[in-house]
Structures are given as structure tokens and as C-alpha cells.
């Protein structure tokens, strides 16, 4: 029904505007008696074989929602009813920021893809923390953290530490985002020396806590094999929990969309179906090269149960959706969970 009736109507409108409209509609509907129960009955699939123990956390199923959809932790309870096993909020920065100028989110329908240059638009870590403190559901929540656009890389650690402190009591795990292409200079922090220093200090503060939280690193799909080798070394050296592979790509190779439409959309990170193969390659390389030394959360181009299984077969411990969820609708989560049980 979603693909036949709903998405054709939604896709008539500006991508970012319709996103906010649908989110508001879901929040409104969730307040109506029995709607939460109806949503859970439609979209939730529980099975003992789906339960996953990863990084000391117990996930009810391995299919999560990637960061970017609920930047400010405003919809955790509503999204839990759609069957996800975990929700990742953010990317959150210490101070609120509006992000890049609009328009900044574009659909490439022929490719089942999105281009975004949102630029970490969010209301700040304090707002996200307050929202999470008041949530009702028990679903696991990850906090994806980044730096403000006007913070120089030399001071980036301070931003990550602020977010870490403000979110620590209300999230179950952290994700360090140094791989978005939409904040100038951010990807420079993926280089071995600055990244090791950043993660080492975060892990130091983490270990000072009575109950340390798993810290994951989100990486770009555009890294070379040599850089991926560095990532493996860094994860082992710093002792963080694992890796999320991958973020959006700056590549525009092999797209079916016309060059004119691609150029009209402009700069930004590409997500969705064109990223599926490369993301799976990165997952497989990291898992094989590290001898499965740490968990990898697979994300990038999952628009069907087959693509989810491909990433699990490549070594992913958990999965995340975003663009596939937009194109395929909420049935996708349930479809993947059922296929993983049958696998």
C-alpha cells in the first residue's frame, strides 16, 4: 500500500518539507487511543532468533534506524512502534545550528537514492538529552555526536566531549561521526593521528564512568583500503566498541538519474540503493581483515531483505535503515526481520 498509494503522493512534495509533515502526522496519530497498539500489531515482528547481544547490549532485533531521521530525539516512542530494534538519534552538536541553506535534500527516484547536505541541523545536545529523559519506550537508543560547523578541527574534541557528557545518562551507546561530507573539514578527522587522539580521549572519559557506554565510529564508504586498515588499527588501539559502515558517499558513479538532475541537486552525501554494494564491500573487508575482532553495524543501501542478508553475510552484527525506509515504507523492517528468521 505504501509504495502504490502513499509514496507517490509524498514524493510530489519537497523532500525535507514532507519529512517534517509526516513526522508531525505520526506524532499526532500516536496520541490517539489505540493507534500505538495498532501500529505495533502492523509493523512489529518479535522472535527469539532475532534477539542480538552486541557490545554488551541486548537488541530485540538487529534492524535499527540510522541517524539523521530523528535528529533531536523527538520521535523515539513513535519509531519504536514501527518495529525497529534500536534508534540512533542525531547527529547532535553541542550548540544548536540551522544547518546548510535550503534546499538541501533531494530524491533521485530512478536510483532509489537521496542526496543530502543538511549540515548537522539540530537543536543541540541539551534539547536531545531532555527529550530522551522523558521518553516512555525502553528501546535502545544511540547518540550520534559531532562538532559544530564553526568549531575548528583543533578544538573538535571539546565538542565531542560536551555531547558525550550531556547525553551519557540518556543513551545506550555513542557514535562518533567524523564522516559526514556536509561539514567542511570534518572528514579530515578520519586521518589516523587526529582520529586516534579523539577516540582515545573519549574512551578515557568513558572508562572513568561507573557504567561505560559502547562507543562506535561511523566511517565513510570512500576510504581507501589503506585507510580502512588504519581504522581497524585505531579501533583495536583505542578499545572502542566497533564501527558503523557506512555513512553517505560523495561518489556519483553509475547512477541512472540524468546528469542534469544530479548537477541540479549539487553537493552532498549520496545514500540509498547505489551505495549498497560499496557499503557491503567495506563491511566484508573490515570483518575479514580484523578477523571479526569487533562488531560492525551495517548501513547503506538496504532497501530489501536480500540486501539486509547480504550485509549480515558480510559480517555485520546489526543493520540500520534510512533511505530504504523512505522508499519502501515501514513494512521493510518487518520484512527484514522475518527473512532473517527464515535465513
Binding-site residues for substrate: 71, 116-120, 177, 182, 247-248
Judged by DSSP in three states, 140 sits in strand
Helix (H, G, I), strand (E, B) or coil at 91: strand
Q: Which of 339, 271, 276, 331 is nearest to 66 (CA)?
A: 271
Tell me which residue of 250, 284, 274, 86 sits closest to 179, measured CA to CA: 250
Contact 247, 218 (CB under 8 A): yes
The span from the CA of 340 to the CA of 130, in Å, is: 35
d(CA 224, CA 171): 32
- The full DSSP string for 175-206 is EEE---TTSTTGGGGGSHHHHHHHHHHHHHHH
Query: Residue ranges of the alpha helices (H) in 211-271?
Result: 225-238, 259-265
Residue 180 annotated as catalytic: yes
Which residues contribute to the annotated binding site for FMN? Answer: 67-71, 91, 144, 177, 218, 246, 272, 301, 322-323
Q: Is the dihedral of CA 284, 290, 293, 295 positive or negative?
A: negative
**Cell numbers given for 278:** 560499496
Residue ranges of the binding site: 67-71, 91, 116-120, 144, 177, 182, 218, 246-248, 272, 301, 322-323
Run of H or E including 174: strand 173-177
Selected catalytic residue, list 180, 271, 290, 317: 180
Radius of gyration of the chain (CA): 19
| Residue for grid cell 543538511 | 118
Catalytic residues: 180
Amino acid at each position: 500500500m505504501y509504495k502504490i498509494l502513499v509514496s507517490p503522493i509524498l514524493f510530489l512534495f519537497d523532500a525535507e518539507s514532507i519529512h517534517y509533515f509526516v513526522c508531525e502526522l505520526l506524532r499526532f496519530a500516536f496520541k490517539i487511543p489505540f493507534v500505538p497498539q495498532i501500529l505495533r500489531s502492523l509493523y512489529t515482528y518479535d522472535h527469539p532468533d532475532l534477539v542480538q547481544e552486541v557490545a554488551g547490549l541486548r537488541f530485540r532485533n538487529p534492524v535499527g534506524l540510522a541517524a539523521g531521521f530523528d535528529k533531536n530525539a523527538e520521535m523515539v516512542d513513535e519509531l519504536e512502534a514501527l518495529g525497529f530494534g534500536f534508534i540512533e538519534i542525531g547527529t547532535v552538536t553541542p550548540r544548536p545550528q540551522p544547518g546548510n541553506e535550503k534546499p538541501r535534500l533531494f530524491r533521485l527516484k530512478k536510483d532509489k537514492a537521496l542526496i543530502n547536505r543538511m549540515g548537522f541541523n539540530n537543536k543541540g545536545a541539551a534539547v536531545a538529552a531532555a527529550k530522551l529523559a522523558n521518553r516512555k519506550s525502553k528501546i535502545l537508543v544511540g547518540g550520534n555526536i559531532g562538532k559544530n560547523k564553526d568549531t575548528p578541527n583543533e578544538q573538535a574534541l571539546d565538542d565531542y566531549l560536551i555531547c558525550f557528557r550531556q547525553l551519557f545518562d540518556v543513551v545506550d551507546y555513542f557514535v562518533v561521526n567524523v564522516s559526514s561530507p556536509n561539514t567542511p573539514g570534518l572528514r579530515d578527522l578520519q586521518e589516523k593521528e587526529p582520529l586516534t587522539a579523539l577516540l582515545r580521549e573519549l574512551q578515557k572519559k568513558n572508562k572513568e564512568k561507573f557504567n561505560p557506554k559502547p562507543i562506535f565510529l561511523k566511517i565513510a564508504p570512500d576510504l581507501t583500503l589503506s585507510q580502512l586498515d588504519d581504522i581497524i588499527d585505531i579501533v583495536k588501539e583505542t578499545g572502542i566498541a566497533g564501527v558503523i559502515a557506512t555513512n553517505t558517499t560523495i561518489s556519483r558513479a553509475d547512477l541512472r538519474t540524468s546528469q542534469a538532475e544530479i548537477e541540479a541537486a549539487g553537493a552532498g552525501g549520496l545514500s540509498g540503493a547505489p551505495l549498497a554494494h560499496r557499503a557491503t564491500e567495506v563491511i566484508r573487508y573490515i570483518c575479514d581483515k580484523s578477523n571479526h575482532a569487533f562488531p560492525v553495524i551495517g548501513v547503506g543501501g538496504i532497501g530489501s531483505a536480500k540486501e539486509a542478508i547480504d550485509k549480515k553475510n558480510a559480517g555485520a552484527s546489526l543493520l540500520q535503515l534510512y533511505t530504504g525506509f523512505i522508499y519502501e515504507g515501514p513494512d521493510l523492517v518487518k520484512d527484514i526481520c522475518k527473512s532473517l528468521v527464515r535465513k
